[in-house]
């Protein structure tokens, strides 16, 4: 990997997203590369306080986590985590598109 100072803002952002996943994978289960549902709940509350404001609501968080666990193995894989990132970014993309449309009117 190139020196960090050489990375673009986008590359750094991607690194942050990847590192964030591994921050919540317990060291002893690194091989399995999966996060437990309780760790994901902690991640939602700690890392997304502005974007996922409903996660304090345990029922809403449980429903989100259940939906993310696509293969129903009770754990969150990197791919399933990435679905969460996609779900968070897509409304932001829509908002930017709307603002740009309004600005061009
Ligand atoms: Ca899973």
For the segment 67-88, what is each residue's pLDDT rounded down to a tens digit?
Answer: 999 999 999 999 999 999 998 8
- The verdict on domain 30-93 having CATH code 1.10.238.10 is yes
Beta strands in 1-105 (DSSP E): 35-36, 75-76
Spatial separation of the C-alpha atoms in residues 85 and 51, rounded to whole Å = 11
| Joined tokens for residue 48 | 């997304």
- Return the pLDDT at 26: 82
State the distance from the centre of ligand 1 to the C-alpha of 13, rounded, in angstroms: 24
- Return the pLDDT at 92: 82
Spatial separation of the C-alpha atoms in residues 79 and 28, rounded to whole Å = 20
Q: Where are the domains of the chain?
A: 30-93
- Return the pLDDT at 56: 64
State the distance from the centre of ligand 1 to the C-alpha of 71, rounded, in angstroms: 5
Give the residues across from 76 on adjacent strands. 35
- Return the pLDDT at 54: 73
Residues with pLDDT less than 70, the chain: 1-4, 29-32, 55-56
User: Which residues are within 5 Å of ligand 1 (an ion), measured at CB?
Assistant: 69, 71, 73
- Return the pLDDT at 27: 80
State the distance from the centre of ligand 1 to the C-alpha of 79, rounded, in angstroms: 9
């Amino acid at each position: 990997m190139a020196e960090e100072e050489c990375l673009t803002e986008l590359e750094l952002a991607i690194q942050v997203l990847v590192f964030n996943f591994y921050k919540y994978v317990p060291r002893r289960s690194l091989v399995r590369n999966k996060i437990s549902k309780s760790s994901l709940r902690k991640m939602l509350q700690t890392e997304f306080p502005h974007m996922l404001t409903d996660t304090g609501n345990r029922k809403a968080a449980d429903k989100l986590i259940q939906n993310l666990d696509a293969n129903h193995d009770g754990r969150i894989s990197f791919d399933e985590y990435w679905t969460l990132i996609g779900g968070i970014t897509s409304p932001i993309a829509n908002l930017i598109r709307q603002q740009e449309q309004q600005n061009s009117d």
